[in-house]
Structure 1
Amino acid sequence: MNLDHVFVCGHPVLDFAATLRARRSTRFEMFVTPDRLNAWYLESGLVDTVTPGTDGDVREAISLREAVYALVTGRRLGEDLDRQALGVLNAAARQVPATPQLTATGRHTDATPAQALATVARQTVELLSGPDAPLLKECGNPECTRVYVDRSRGMRRQWCGMDSCGNKIKAAAYRARKKAAPVPAGH
């Protein structure tokens, strides 16, 4: 599996939760180093620059990510929210977030890893208490555990993304149909 961060879920919080891929099978961790964590903060667009991180920052991010995943899953399934996960989220949301600044060239956000993480926590609070909460769906690929915001007409979207999962599932279904199809007589 590649190390590219993927942003297909329709909200940075959901992409953050998806940085532990294939939770039900191979489990592939994206936050393996402080540099990989900081790369996610930058690639997500949450911050423009971030100071170097530590292994402790990675541990805190993974702890928050697992709390976010538990809360997103609970909200998606209509279950009571996990109290321990709520504690982790709310403690992180109380920390100082990244603060955007207006510059001559537009908005610029400098952050420490802790500020970036507090920003993720606050966005999680907004997502799970806001109008998109009822639109959360899990990808239809059984190997994928990404949750996304389904803003499609009639909430008919099935995959986290066509490139990441939809095309793979459709191609596998096509191959299975071709394999199962009877060979016409005379061939």
Structure 2
Amino acid sequence: MNLDHVFVCGHPALDFAATLRARRSSRFEVLVTPERLNAWYLESGLVDAITPGDEEDVREARTVREAVYRLLTNRRLGEEFDGDALAVLNGAARETPVTPQLTVAGRHNEATPGQALATVARQAVELLSGPDVPLLKECGNPECTRVYIDRSRGMRRQWCGMESCGNKLKAAAYRARKKTAPASSSPR
């Protein structure tokens, strides 16, 4: 089941936080059903197989996601961590994570939605306490609220991804320049 989830942020916890898009305007929720949540876990590569979830799994995932986003924002802006968000993330990180298994075909990760969420929470803890913190940036598209890791030379990356926001903004800027440019004079 491919639902075209977007993975452009450079880290699974960042992509998870981005499952609520356009937070400042239209707010597009990706995690609307247990099936969509499980599809995200599968498409992210976090698990190879996942047991069916329920509405409570969706509620828990959204709660952890919002805590991760709050903490990312705190860290990015140099603020103290929000205490409630910290408690939510640490509580989720204490749960049993995905446990890889070795099979004849190789590594296999089968999990419950709760185990997948605990794994995302642990990844967020590692990110928020690790060396990539200074590389966290928010997308330059005013409609986008994705946070990404900027590993570009000189940290000049402006968008979460060229495929998503970069091309849209570049095309809009080009159209705006063409509209305001003086009409070229005709050749003699």
TM-score by length of 2: 0.96
Q: Which amino acid aligns with 2:4?
A: D
Q: What displacement does 1:4 show?
A: 2.2
Query: Secondary structure of the equivalent of 1:137?
Result: strand
Instruction: Output the CA distance in 1 between the equivalents of 2:43 and 2:186.
Output: 56
Name the SS of the counterpart of 1:78 in structure 2. Answer: coil
The separation in 2 between residues aligned to 1:184 and 1:54, in whole angstroms, is: 61
Equivalent in the alignment of 1:38: 38
For the residues of structure 2 that align with 1:54 and 1:81, how far apart are their CA atoms?
A: 30
Supply the distance in 2 between the matched residues of 1:149 and 1:106 (Cα, whole angstroms): 30
Quick one: distance in 2 between partners of 1:60 and 1:114?
9
| 2-structure distance, mates of 1:76, 1:107 | 35
Matched, 1:26 2:26: yes
The size of the alignment, in residue pairs, is: 185
Confirm or deny that 1:58 pairs with 2:58: yes
Q: How far apart, in 1, do the equivalents of 2:121 and 2:111 lie?
A: 14
Q: Which residue of 2 aligns with 1:78?
A: 78
Structure 1 segment 106-121 matched on structure 2, within 5 A: 106-121=106-121
Distance 1:48 1:184 in 2: 58
- What RMSD in Å do the two structures reach over aligned CA positions? 1.0
Tell me how far apart the structure 2 counterparts of residues 104 and 76 of structure 1 sit (CA, whole Å): 43
Displacement after TM superposition at 1:172 (Å): 0.2
Query: Any idea what the Cα deviations from partners look like across 1:67-114, whole Å, max 9, x if unmatched?
Result: 000001111111111000000000000100110112222211110000
Question: Secondary structure at the residue paired with 1:160?
Answer: coil
* Equivalent-residue separation in structure 1 for 2:46 and 2:185 (angstroms): 60
Match of 1:49 in 2: 49
Residues 1:138 and 2:138 are matched in the alignment: yes
- Deviation, 1:186, is 4.2
Distance 1:144 1:57 in 2: 26
Q: Distance in 1 between matches of 2:71 and 2:6?
A: 21
* Structure 1 residue ranges (4+ consecutive) displaced by more than 2 angstroms after TM superposition: 184-187
- What is the DSSP-based 3-state SS (H/G/I as helix, E as strand, rest coil) of the residue aligned with 2:102? strand
- In 1, the alpha carbon distance for the partners of 2:39 and 2:184 equals 54
Aligned partner letter, 1:11:
H
CA distance in 2, matches of 1:38, 1:184: 55
Q: SS of the residue aligned with 2:137?
A: strand
Distance 1:155 1:181 in 2: 31
